[in-house]
Structure 1
Amino acid sequence: MPTASAVSTSQRLKVGIVLTRRFTICAFANFVDVLRLAADEGDRSRPILCSWRVLSHDMNPVASSCGLSVQPDERLGDPARFDYIVVVGGLMEELERVPPEATEFLRRAARANVPLVGVCTGAFVLHRAGLMNGYRCCVSWFHHNDFLESFDGITPVSDQIFVVDRDRLTCSGGTSSAHLAAFLVDRHVGRAAARKSLAIMMIDEAQAAERPQPGLPIELATRDALVRRALLAMQQTIDTPLTVAALAARLKVSRRKLERHFAEHLGTSPSEAGKLLRLNHAEWLLSRSERTITQIAQDTGFTDASHFIRIFRARHDQTPQVWRVAQVAVK
């Protein structure tokens, strides 16, 4: 077992982590586990090459959005002792309750030229602290409109999994936090360590920042609350699409009102928007899975493979199989 001093001097990547109230534990765990697995041989978890510390101003446990709590390791202190400071966000309603001590710590880190990382809605926290002005910022497609409503004149990146803009790094959360952590491991520890971490976690090989997020097509971005609720309902029932009448009933509005909102805010009908959403998800499955065309047709709510192929060809002027082969060739 290496001594404490030997471990400290051999560490190539030191990360301090600030958790917001009701943070997303999946995003936090994915990020930390990549560091943990890269830090030692196998999965022995010794912080030899990487270290990670959860920071707090009061050392009280921090509850995640699922109710599990994490006990901080140490107080905020001097941010310059870390190579990166990571903010892990979570539920939107909690982001305005970030302790002022944590906000000032982030500002001290910026003044000390310590790179800042926003994971999940951590990007919102960095923006509210005035630390993202002039930087590109990645936000999940799910929170794209929340970001537009919170920060006038700033358009986030919601069509890729993470963004690296100089000393600001942001990601959309979920599995993308593992890929962002792997990017940091690759940069400071080595590519082999990054690949090992992802392989042990049974995650596909490291994805580039530009990898598209799965989710709603950008063409369907809107601030209209009713349309957004409808699109979310469509996504939740993507394998068994609702009729427009059933969708309107679920949202407790008339069919006419629903169609009017879609026409005014998206310039299309609910049925066409639903078809676009299903095709977008089908493209994601074609490029990311080995499912057959028939399986993908079923998973995305098309009547059968022939129906799916006909609709797909009308959009792309080629069959799903030809499109899939072309996507693989580009990678």
Structure 2
Amino acid sequence: MPRQADPSSGPAAPRLRIGFLLAPRFTLSAFATFVDVLRLAADDGDGSRPIRCRWSVLSPDMAPIQSSCGVRIEPDERLGDPGQFDYIVTVGGLIEGSPGLSPEHGAFLRKAAAQKVALAGLCTGVFAMARLGLMDGYRCCVSWFHHQDFLAEFELMHPVSDQIFVVDRDRLSCSGGVSAAHLAAFLVDRHLGRAAARKSLSILMIDEPMEGDRPQPGLPLELNARDPIVRRALLAMQQNLHAPLSVARIAKDLGIGRRKLERHFSADIGVPPADASIRIRLAQAKMLLSRSERTVTRIAEETGFCDASHLIRVFRENMGTTPDLWRQEHAGQEVAQI
């Protein structure tokens, strides 16, 4: 992303300075969306001059970095003093089949943390930060899609998967996708003001800034709840796919009785909580069948079924076919219900 210094910008230093670390096979959409919010806030109109904001892609060796979609990004500068930035943002890559951050990246992030530079993780960037111990004692945001992957690797941590981004002191994290734009807008608002943040999002055709506690999208479309109680219950189900909570436990956690929770479900989405839980787990099972090579046994474990035979029975009752046959019919296709 080559940029030229603007001779008319004067001596004033940028009010927001961000360094990016891109993991091998990083998520291009999260990176590009975040940068575009900075770009549009940095200059008048869409002039793209890095006046009010400055951003650089950092690298230990200046080699091009390939994203998960194959597009390569040229670094701007070598790893140096993290103290020249207000934030170091790590953009994560694919969880499986990616080498992750280099030891040089890790040392740089630890140096930044020691210097009290704020650290942010986009998409799976928080995985890389957690592997370095940089999220110990912090809340972190993880996409619902990678919630179970995070728990499998970090058993003692409690990722937040019902918000689009989380800010906990000097650690920031977001679920990826368009949430990267809202996290970037949050930082623009903090350093440049609300008008600059709204301007950036408006030009990107995003209606308005969203707060970090905005629920992540991703529930099955037929369970698109309006009732806040029902939505919170559905999110609890989604976050506990591997060990489903009982309806009574969910109601207790929400501070209401089971019968009241069932009435809310009936009035809002027309199905009982137990049936909604099955639909959510089946939606996740179908997603895993279509997008991964996981065995039916492993998928059953990850989606809260007793074993493979239990998943096969429930799958056949609801879909009229077995998981293996469904996978053959939908190989390489996107699943439409999430």
CA distance in 2, matches of 1:48, 1:209: 27
* Cα separation, 1, equivalents of 2:22 and 2:36: 16
Give the deviation of 1:158 after TM superposition. Answer: 0.3
Match of 1:38 among 29, 38, 41: 41
Which residue number in structure 1 is paired with residue 145 of structure 2? Answer: 142
Amino acid at match of 1:59: M
Q: Does 1:100 align with 2:103?
A: yes
1:37 match: secondary structure? helix
Moved more, 30-39 or 94-103: 94-103
Q: Would you say 1:115 and 2:97 are equivalent positions?
A: no
Contact 1:7 1:49 in 2 (8 A): no
> SS state of the match for residue 18, structure 2?
strand
Could you say if the C-alpha distance between residues 7 and 34 of structure 1 is closer, same or farther in structure 2, counting changes exceeding 3 Å?
farther
Q: Distance in 1 between matches of 2:27 and 2:11?
A: 29
Moved more, 192-201 or 96-105: 96-105
* Match of residue 126 from structure 1: 129
* 1:206 and 2:209 matched: yes
Separation in 2 of the partners of 1:69 and 1:180?
24
Q: 1:191 to 1:22 in 2, by over 3 A?
A: same
1:264 aligns with 2:326: no
Q: Which residue pairs with 1:222 in the alignment?
A: 241
Structure 2 CA distance for aligned equivalents of residues 193 and 213 of structure 1:
24
Residues 252, 111 of structure 1: CA spacing in aligned structure 2 closer, same or farther, 3 A cutoff?
closer
Question: Post-superposition shift, 1:232?
Answer: 3.4
Structure 2: tracts of 5 or more residues without a match: 220-234, 244-278, 320-335
State yes or no: 1:186 paired with 2:189.
yes
Where do 5+ consecutive residues of structure 1 fail to align? 238-246, 276-298, 302-331
Find the residue that maps to 1:54 and give its secondary structure. Answer: strand
Call closer, same or farther: CA 1:10–1:172 in 2, change over 3 Å.
Answer: same
Q: Which residue does the alignment assign to 2:154?
A: 151
SS of residue matched to 1:264: coil
Deviations 1:165-201 (A, max 9, x none): 0000000000000000000000001100000000000
Distance in 1 (CA, whole Å) between partners of 2:286 and 2:138 is: 33
Residue in structure 2 matched with residue 19 of structure 1 by the alignment: 22
Contact 2:6 2:51 in 1 (8 A): no
Q: 1:75 to 1:252 in 2, by over 3 A?
A: closer
Deviation of the 1:10 alpha carbon: 3.7
Quote the Cα distance in structure 2 between the aligned partners of 1:205 and 1:174. 16
| Residue 231, structure 1, aligned to residue 283, structure 2 | yes
Normalised by the length of structure 1, the TM-score is 0.70
**Superposition deviation, residue 230 in structure 1:** 4.8
Q: Please say if residues 24 and 88 of structure 1, whose CA atoms lie closer than 8 Å, have aligned partners that are also in contact.
A: yes
Could you say what the CA RMSD is over the residues aligned between the two structures, in angstroms? 3.6
SS at match of 1:118: strand
Contact 1:22 1:94 in 2 (8 A): no
Cα distance, 1:153 vs structure 2 = 1.0
Residues 1:148 and 1:262: Cα distance change in structure 2 (over 3 Å) = closer
| Deviation digits for residues 15-69 of structure 1 (CA, Å, limit 9, x no counterpart) | 0000000000000000000000000011110001001100000000000000000
Partner SS state of residue 9, structure 1: coil
- CA–CA distance in 2 between the matches of 1:71 and 1:19? 10
Do the aligned partners of 2:288 and 2:294 also contact (CA within 8 Å) in 1? no
Change (3 A) 1:126 1:5: farther
> 1:144 Cα deviation (Å)?
0.3
- Indicate yes or no: 2:63 matched with 1:60: yes
Q: Which moved more, 1:168-177 or 1:228-237?
A: 228-237
**Equivalent residue for 2:76?**
73
Structure 1 residues 184 and 252 mapped into 2: Cα distance closer, same or farther (>3 Å)?
Answer: closer
Give the residue type in structure 1 aligned to 2:25: R
**Cα shift at 1:156:** 0.2
Structure 1 residues 264, 189: closer, same or farther in 2, change over 3 A? same
Q: Which has the higher helix share?
A: 1
Shift in CA distance, 164/67, structure 1 to aligned 2, threshold 3 Å: same
The one-letter code sitting in structure 2 at the alignment partner of 1:184 is L
Q: Which segment is superposed worse, 88-97 or 138-147?
A: 88-97
SS at match of 2:12: helix
| Superposition TM-score, scaled by structure 2 size | 0.69
Identity %: 55
Q: Are the equivalent residues in 2 in contact too, given 1:28–1:88 (CA < 8 A)? A: yes
Q: CA deviation at 1:152?
A: 1.6
Is this contact kept in 2: 1:230–1:251, CA < 8 A? no
Shift of 1:234: 4.2
1:47 and 2:37 matched: no
Please point out which of 160, 163, 170 is paired with 2:163.
160
